[in-house]
């Protein structure tokens, strides 16, 4: 699919958040909203990414753009399209920024030509919409190539990178070599952690802004037990395994079908250490239906690998593990199903091998679920080990994962205390007020400079 699309977003009043915040936080937010209205009275703010559905960036834009629009500022969301050759290059960049090759392809002149040609076809459409003096947030490698033309147009451009690795290696260096000339024209760069930024990023214009979640979105809103049961046990979700159990304990991982999320590793750890877990424990691995995320070309392959792995497990492990494919045609239904699965679980796992920031960690934390997650990237900031969750020091350590699960599954008191701390951690650090305030501060600095 090529061509720029405008994603329609219904404004939502920011006051909706107020009951969750202290009076001081409400006051601070109101002051920044007033500042935003003043700064942006004659300007628009544009977000540009490459998918309106699936993955953390789309998840966040749906709610942040809605809240920002609810304050009366003019904020818009554009999605650039591409053919499979473009997304093969950008997925390669995504993988290499996380320290793995992804595929055997190169990030050479041919890859650059593919990348440039796709954005060149859409550049004029974007430039027609954006006016001089507007602010533009370009998200991830897929849109970095728009920084120069937008700057030439007179816009103020921030490139926001949602991925990264704490320690740079040959793969990250190769990806950053590709991206550097595309990113350098941006006025500012935003990362989820400072360590993700390559050393050539101008530190004066580097901002660290972690993601946030919306407690009132279909993904996170309260659901009663009957609704949870109805959504979890609805027909057609399970693609491998028996229907989901009605009783017992459930360990869940929800992720896109991306090798770096290591769904297969979770399955293997579960099967290898089945006897160490309480005998009523089931594993549920849930991801979006494989064709559902436009900019993720590897999903079908990764799901197929997981299904293959599942089929090769001993019968005892197959009886207690279930692979789910959650339909993506209705985004709200998808979100409510994920919400229900997270609420229904006893423990939520995120065994990522690399992670910029995992919304799939923050979402169950908000729901007061205890999480066991790899100590990689942004997850290290999200979870305080032993307090608001358990961090797995080595993400490849299946035995370690099983030990952490076994200990939590056997201790309801600890699960409850950890869930409570997790909820507070999200309330204090990962709601939209903090996120929007950081944007307003950056806009003020960019406009001051201009």
DSSP states of 117-172 as a string?
A: HHHHHHHHHHHHHPPTT-EEEEESHHHHTTHHHHHHTT-EEEEEE----SS--HHH
Residues 267-286 vs ligand UDP: string with x where CB under 6 A? -------------------x
C-beta of 123 vs 139, nearer to ligand UDP: 139
**Binding residue for ligand UDP (CB under 6 A) from 45, 55, 92, 435?**
55
Interface with ligand UDP, residue 183, by CB under 6 A: no
Can residue 359 be called a binding residue for ligand UDP (CB under 6 A)? yes
231 binds ligand UDP (CB under 6 A): no
Find the shortest distance in angstroms from Cβ 375 to ligand UDP: 16
CB of 21: closest distance to ligand UDP in angstroms? 22
**What are the CA-CA distances from residue 187 to residues 49, 138, 183, 228, 323 (Å)?**
18, 11, 9, 45, 44
Interatomic CA distance for residues 141 and 136, integer angstroms: 15
Interface positions, 192-221, toward ligand UDP (CB under 6 A): 219
Query: DSSP class of residue 201?
Result: S
Largest CA distance in the chain: 65
Q: Which of 29, 43, 56, 264 binds ligand UDP (CB under 6 A)?
A: 56
Quick one: 360 or 388, whose CB is closer to ligand UDP?
360
Stretch that binds ligand UDP, among 164-172, 190-198, 201-209, 253-261 (CB under 6 A): 253-261
Which of 256, 259, 273, 369 is the binder for ligand UDP (CB under 6 A)? 256
Decide: is 264 part of the binding site for ligand UDP (CB under 6 A).
Answer: no
Helix axes 170-183, 84-97, angle to 10 degrees: 120
Distance (Å, rounded) from C-alpha 176 to C-alpha 183? 9
Q: Does 254 bind ligand UDP (CB under 6 A)?
A: yes
Q: Does 365 bind ligand UDP (CB under 6 A)?
A: no
- Minimum Å distance from CB 264 to ligand UDP? 16
CA atoms within 13 A on the CB side of 213: 28
Count of residues touching ligand UDP (by CB under 6 A): 19
Indicate the residue among 155 and 284 with the shorter CB distance to ligand UDP.
Answer: 284
* CB of 282 closer than 8 Å to CB of 322: yes
Using the rule CB under 6 A, is 338 a contact of ligand UDP? yes
Q: Say which DSSP state 259 is in.
A: G
Neighbours of 185 (CB within 10 A): 17
Query: Does residue 51 touch ligand UDP according to CB under 6 A?
Result: no
């Amino acid at each position: 699919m090529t061509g720029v699309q405008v994603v329609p977003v219904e404004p939502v009043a920011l006051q909706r958040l107020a009951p969750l915040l202290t009076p001081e936080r409400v006051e601070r937010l109101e002051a920044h909203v007033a500042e935003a209205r003043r700064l942006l009275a004659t300007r628009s703010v544009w977000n540009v990414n490459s998918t309106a559905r699936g993955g953390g960036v789309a998840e966040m834009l749906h709610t942040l753009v809605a809240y920002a629009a609810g304050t009366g500022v003019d904020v818009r969301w554009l999605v650039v399209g591409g053919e499979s050759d473009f997304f093969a290059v950008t997925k390669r960049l995504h993988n290499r920024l996380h320290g793995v090759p992804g595929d055997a392809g190169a990030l050479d002149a041919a890859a650059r030509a593919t990348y440039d040609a796709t954005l060149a076809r859409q550049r004029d459409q974007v430039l027609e919409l954006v006016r001089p003096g507007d602010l533009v947030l370009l998200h991830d490698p897929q849109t970095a190539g728009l920084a120069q033309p937008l700057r030439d147009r007179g816009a103020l451009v921030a490139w926001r990178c949602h991925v990264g690795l704490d320690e740079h290696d040959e793969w990250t260096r190769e990806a950053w070599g590709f991206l550097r000339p595309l990113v350098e024209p941006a006025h500012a760069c935003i990362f989820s952690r400072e360590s993700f930024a390559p050393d050539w990023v101008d530190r004066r214009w580097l901002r660290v802004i972690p993601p946030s979640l919306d407690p009132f979105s279909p993904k996170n809103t309260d659901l009663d037990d009957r609704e949870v049961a109805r959504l979890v046990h609805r027909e057609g979700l399970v693609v491998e395994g028996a229907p989901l159990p009605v009783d017992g304990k459930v360990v869940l991982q929800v992720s896109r079908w991306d090798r770096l999320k290591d769904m297969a590793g979770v399955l293997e750890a579960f099967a290898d250490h089945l006897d160490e877990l309480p005998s009523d424990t089931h594993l549920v691995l849930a991801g979006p239906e494989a064709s559902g995320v436009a900019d993720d070309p590897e999903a079908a392959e990764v799901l197929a690998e997981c299904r293959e792995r599942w089929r090769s497990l001993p019968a005892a492990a197959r009886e207690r593990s279930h692979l789910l494919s959650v339909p993506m045609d209705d985004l709200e239904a998808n979100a409510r199903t994920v919400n229900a699965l997270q609420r229904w679980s006893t423990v939520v796992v995120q065994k990522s091998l690399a992670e910029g920031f995992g919304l799939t960690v923050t979402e169950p934390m908000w729901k007061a679920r205890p999480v066991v997650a790899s100590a990689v990237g942004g997850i290290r900031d999200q979870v305080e080990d032993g307090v608001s969750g358990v961090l797995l020091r080595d993400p490849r350590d299946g035995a370690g994962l099983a030990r952490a699960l076994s200990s939590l599954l056997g201790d309801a008191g600890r699960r409850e205390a950890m869930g409570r701390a997790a909820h507070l951690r999200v309330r204090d650090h990962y709601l939209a007020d903090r996120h929007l305030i950081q944007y307003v501060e950056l806009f003020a600095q960019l406009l001051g400079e201009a």
